[in-house]
Amino acid sequence: MSEKPNPVLSGPFFQHTGRCPACGAETTFVAEGPYFRNTLKCIKCKSAPRHRALVHVLSQYFPNWHSLKVHESSPGWDIVSQRLAQECRDYTASQFDPNIPFGDLIEAPTMPCKRYRCENLEEQTFQDQSFDLVITQDVFEHVFHPDLAIREIARTLKPGGATLMTVPIVRKSKPSRRRAALVAGKVVNLVEPPEFHGNPISNEGALVTIDWGFDIVGYLQHHSGLSFIMIQIDNIDLGIRADLIEVLIGFKTPIPYL
- What residues make contact with Zn ion under the rule CB under 5 A? 20, 22-23, 42, 44-45, 47
The residue (of 44 and 151) whose beta carbon lies closer to Zn ion is 44
Least separation in angstroms between residue 23's CB and Zn ion is 3
Least separation in angstroms between residue 52's CB and Zn ion is 7
The residue (of 86 and 189) whose beta carbon lies closer to Zn ion is 86
Least separation in angstroms between residue 159's CB and Zn ion is 34
The residue (of 23 and 153) whose beta carbon lies closer to Zn ion is 23
Q: Tell me: cis bond preceding 200? Omega within 30 of 0 counts.
A: no
Contacts of 162 (CB under 8 A, 6+ apart): 61, 62, 132, 133, 134, 226, 249, 250, 251, 252
The residue (of 23 and 249) whose beta carbon lies closer to Zn ion is 23
The residue (of 47 and 95) whose beta carbon lies closer to Zn ion is 47
Least separation in angstroms between residue 31's CB and Zn ion is 14
Name which of 119, 104, 125 is nearest 72 in CA terms: 119
Alpha carbons 85 and 217: distance in angstroms, whole number? 28
Least separation in angstroms between residue 29's CB and Zn ion is 8
CB contact at 8 A, 67 and 89: yes
Contacts of 160 (CB under 8 A, 6+ apart): 132, 252, 253
